[in-house]
Amino acid sequence: MSITSIVLLVIVVALIFYGVSIYNSLVALRNRYQNAFAQIEVQLKRRYDLIPNLVETAKAYMSHERDTLEAVVQARQGAMDGLAAAAEKPGDPQAMAQLSSAEGALGSAMGRLNVVMEAYPDLKASANMQQLSETLTSTENRVAFARQAFNDAVMQYNTYRQRFPTVLLAGTFGHGEDAALLEFEDSEAIQEAPKVSF
């Protein structure tokens, strides 16, 4: 074998190892954001399981607020459907948009329920309602942390996938599109500083 053949062989082997390294990194980063989504799924399911208990507790006090309670139940079902679609394809832009929209509807319905509950001091004072509200608040915080971890993992994946020379090989390896962030409809409201007036 000539020196040129040996050098050429070494270069080809190095390129193959580099390609394998890129592929493995893409797979690892995709698995990381899919795992991060699984954490969101766990917390959202926990939240969805708490909502029927909250509604049942409220029913005893708010018998004439049937429309509000039904809206919460329907929004919960829509959010569960959105979560199921997103769980099949974490990072898919359409699935993330569907989940985001369903979560926005649920948040709106829960907001209306909270406003109605303010008119029922006995309900607010109920130990069962206090415990459910506290658990729901804790779960909301966990959802926020899980969503942040998911979005961070998606950003790492997208950044790596878009870098040169990875971008040249990503499509060939089955990573042709960026993963979508999970942004809820309240994202803009959360970004704004609260207004305080006296």
Domain limits at 98? Answer: 10-183
Closest to 81 in 3D by CA, of 97, 68, 98: 98
Question: How far apart are alpha carbons 65 and 56 in whole angstroms?
Answer: 12
Give the domain CATH number at 125: 1.20.1440.20
Burial level of 44, CB count in 10 A (0-12/13-18/19+)? buried
pLDDT recorded at residue 186: 53
For residue 165, say if its preceding peptide bond is cis, omega within 30 degrees of 0.
yes
Does 18 map to a domain?
yes
Does 192 map to a domain?
no
Question: How far apart are alpha carbons 154 and 23 in whole angstroms?
Answer: 16
pLDDT recorded at residue 188: 47
Closest to 22 in 3D by CA, of 177, 152, 169, 174: 169
Does 194 map to a domain?
no
pLDDT recorded at residue 111: 86
pLDDT recorded at residue 189: 44
pLDDT recorded at residue 64: 67
Number of domains the chain contains: 1
Helix (H, G, I), strand (E, B) or coil at 147: helix
Residue whose entry in the numeric block shows the structure tokens 């193959």: 16
pLDDT recorded at residue 191: 40
pLDDT values of the chain reduced to their tens digit, one per residue, 198 residues: 789 999 999 999 999 999 999 999 999 999 999 999 999 999 999 989 988 888 887 877 776 677 888 888 899 999 999 999 999 988 889 999 899 999 989 988 888 888 878 777 777 777 777 888 888 888 888 988 899 999 999 999 999 999 999 898 888 898 888 888 888 765 444 444 434 332
Does 102 map to a domain?
yes
Does 4 map to a domain?
no
